[in-house]
Structure 1
C-alpha cells in the first residue's frame, strides 16, 4: 500500500491542530493524502498551506457550533475526527486551590468539546456507514497528579470512558472509535506547564522537571515522546490498515505506566 495516498479522498478534522501533537497529526494525515481541517482559537504563524484553518474556541458550546457550521457549509462533514484539543492551566496545590470555574473550564475543553463535536459530526459518518473518531486522552486518566492537574486527569478519565461507550454504540454502524493516551510529550505547552510547576513550588525548571518525572515514576525508554511519535500512530489508526480496530485505548508513554 502506498502510504502517501492511503487517505486520499478523506476529509479529516484535527482539533488543537496548530501546535504540538495536534500539528504533527494534521501534517501526517495530509502527507497520507487527506484533506485536513485544523481548529484552534488562534491561527499559527507557521501553519502549512495545505491545512485548512478554522478559528474556534471549543471550550464553549458556541465555538463548537461555529466550527461545525463552517465544516458543514464547506465540506459537508468529515470522515476522520481527531479530538486532540486538551490541556491544563489550573493552579497547583491540590483540591483546595481549585474553584468551580477551574473545574468547569477544564471539563469543557477536555471532555465536552469532543462530546459536542462527535454528536454534531457523527450523522455524516453514519449516513455513509464509515468513519473514524480518535480521542486523545492521557495516561493521567489512570495516573492522576493531584498536586498539579486534578481536573485535567478527571476530565481525561471521563473522556476515555465515554470513548469506549460511544464505540460500543456506533461500531455496528461502521464507525470506529479509538482512544490514544500519551504520556509526557515534549512540546512547547509541556515546557510552559513545567515552568508553571516550578513557579508554584519555588523551584528551578530542571528541579520541577525532575520532580514531575519522579512523580511519573520515570520513563523507562529514556526520553519523552515527540509529537511525531503520536502522529505516526494516529495515522495508522485512521487508515485502512487498522480496519478491525475499535473500542480500544492505546497508551503511548515509553513504559511510564507501572501497571498492565
Structure 2
C-alpha cells in the first residue's frame, strides 16, 4: 500500500489509536508520511509522548483537551479519523439496558465524534480542505438484539449525523465519509473466540465459527484484519479519493446481504 499512496504533509488526528484497527491505522498513516496524533485514556509504551494525548473522550472535558492539543501540536488538522467505539453493555436485550447503559453507549460511540468535529471542522472549512472519516459498524444495519442494541443505535445515529455533516461541509472543501467494518480480528475478538471455544470444547477456529454463525455467516469465511481496515481508511483520507464524500464503505467480508 505504501508504494501507491502518500499522506505526506497531512496532519491527522486518530481517536482510539492504541489497539486493533486504530493502532493499525496510526501505524499506516505514519508510514505514509502523515503527522499523527492519537489518544486513549493511558499511553502505551510503544507510542512516544509527542504523538499521544491522554484523554477520556467519553467526557466533554476530554474532547476539549484533545481538540486543543491538536490545534497546539499540529496547528490544526487535515484528517480526522473517528475510530473510537465499543460496548460494555450486558446481554439480555432491551430490558437489560437502563439509563446508565444507554448513556454510556452514546458517550462512547456518538458524542466524541460530534464534539471533536464541532471543535475542529471549522478550521478545515477555513482552510478550504479536509477529510473526516467516521468509523461506524455493520451493526447499525444488522444489530444483534441480545447484546448490541444500544451500540447499534448509537452507530446508526453516527451514520446519519455523518451524512448530514457531509451535505453541509462538502461544498466548502471538506469531505466526510463513513467506514462500516464487520467483525475485525482484534486482540479483544481473539480473546472472545478463545473463550467461546473453551466453553464449547473446540479449538480457536471453532470459536471463530461460533462468532461467524452468530453474525449470520461471513461469506468470505474469515473476519477482517486490522491492517485491511487501515488500508481502506488510508485510501479514503488520501488525495486519490478527492471526489468521494457523503457515502459509507462496508468492509465485512459480505456479512450484510445488501448495503
Whether TM-score is above 0.5 comes out as: yes
1:51-200 alignment runs, 5 A limit: 52-193=51-192
**Post-superposition offset of 1:110:** 0.4
Which piece of structure 1 moves more, 38-47 or 154-163? Answer: 38-47
Extract structure 1 runs of 4+ deviating beyond 4 A.
Answer: 2-5, 192-196, 202-209
Matches of 2:227 and 2:25 in 1, distance apart? 7
When the two structures are aligned, how many residues end up with a matched partner? Answer: 255
Query: Deviations 1:28-54 (Å, cap 9, x if unpaired)?
Result: 11111100001111112333x497011
Matches of 1:210 and 1:255 in 2, distance apart? 15
Q: TM-score, structure 2 length as denominator? A: 0.92
Question: Which 5+ residue runs of structure 1 have no aligned equivalent?
Answer: none
- Secondary structure at the counterpart of residue 126 of structure 2: helix
- Secondary structure at the counterpart of residue 13 of structure 2: strand
- Secondary structure at the counterpart of residue 113 of structure 1: helix
Q: TM-score, structure 1 length as denominator? A: 0.91
Query: Deviations 1:47-68 (Å, cap 9, x if unpaired)?
Result: 3x49701111101111101111
Q: Call closer, same or farther: CA 1:216–1:56 in 2, change over 3 Å.
A: same
Matches of 1:87 and 1:259 in 2, distance apart? 24
- CA RMSD, 1 decimal: 2.2
Question: Which 5+ residue runs of structure 2 have no aligned equivalent?
Answer: none
Query: Deviations 1:8-31 (Å, cap 9, x if unpaired)?
Result: 111101100011000101111111
